[in-house]
Amino acid sequence: MSLAQAIAPHLPYLRRFARVLAGSQSGGDAYAVATLEAILADPAALDRQIDLRVALYRVFLTVWQSAQPDKAPAATGTEAQDEGFTRLEQLTPRPRVAFLLAAVEGFPTAHVAQALNCSEDEAAALLAEAGKELSEQLATDILIIEDEPIIAMDLETLVESLGHRVIDVARTHSEALEAVKRHRPGLVLADIQLADGSSGLDAVNDILAEAEMPVIFITAYPERLLTGARPEPTFLVTKPFSPDAVKAVISQALFFERRSHQAGPVAAAS
C-alpha cells in the first residue's frame, strides 16, 4: 500500500479537526493542504513508528503551531469585554489543541502526547487546564434541530448543564425556521436528516440567509460531508457523541463567533 493510500482514510477527519481548530472551512483546509505538502516534501516527517493517524496529526500540528503567534490576539471591541470571552481568549492554543484531540478526535492521553510531541504527564496537565478553562464558557441561547427524541433530550440536558438555555427543539425544516423567527438563538445544533425527510443542511442554510450565528452539525457519517466536492460545514460532531466532544466544539464555535462575529457565520455550510 502506498503512503497516499494509507493516509487517505484519515484525511476527512484531519480536515474536520483542522476546521474546528482554525474556525473556518477555508482556514482549516489550507492547513490540511499544507500538511500534505510538508509530507510530500519530506516523507520522513511522518513518523511510521507510531499510529499513522497520530503521526499525520503530529505533522499537521507542527505546521499549525509554526503559524501561530506566541499569544492569542488581543481582544478588542465591546463584545470582547465580556468576562467569559476574555477567559477563552486567554486560553493558550496548546491546551485547546490537547482538549480537541481528546474530546473531538477521541485520542487517549498517550496519543495526545504523541501528536503534540510531549510526555504523557504534560499532555494530562494540558487536558486538565483546558477542561477547566473551557468549562467557563459563555452562556447563550441554543436551538436544537434533531428528530430523534432521545438524542434531543440528551443534547438539551447536556447544553443546559453547561449553562446554556435551549429555546426550542425542532424536528423538521419548517419547525426550525419558525423557532428562529420566534427567538434568534446564539448557536444551533443541527442533525443532517430530519423527520419529514428534509435536510438539516437546507434548514441551516435558510436560517443563515436571514441571520448570522454559529452552527454545529451532528451526524453519524461526518466523512460524507467532508468529501471536498461541495461547500461543507466547519463544525461537526460525530454520533454517537460524547459530552466532552459537544462541549469542546460548542466552546470553539463560541470562541470564534465572539472573535469574528462581524466576518460572517463561522459554522455555515456555505
Q: Say which residue, 183 or 232, is predicted with more confidence.
A: 183
Nearest to 104 by CA among 254, 250, 270: 250
pLDDT, tens only, 96-133: 889 889 888 889 999 999 999 999 999 998 888 776 66
Of 4-8, 190-194, 232-236, the range with the highest mean pLDDT is: 4-8
d(CA 80, CA 95): 21
d(CA 68, CA 23): 14
Run of H or E including 219: strand 215-219
**Given this model, what pLDDT does residue 82 score?**
42
Which CATH number among 3.30.2130.10, 3.40.50.2300, 3.90.180.10, 3.40.50.2000 corresponds to the domain 141-259? 3.40.50.2300
Nearest to 32 by CA among 49, 48, 47, 20: 20
Instruction: Decide if 258 contacts 239 (C-beta within 8 A).
Output: no
The CATH class of the 3-134 domain is: mainly alpha
**Given this model, what pLDDT does residue 133 score?**
63
Global confidence as pTM: 0.60
Domain boundaries, the chain: 3-134, 141-259
pLDDT at 24 over 70: yes
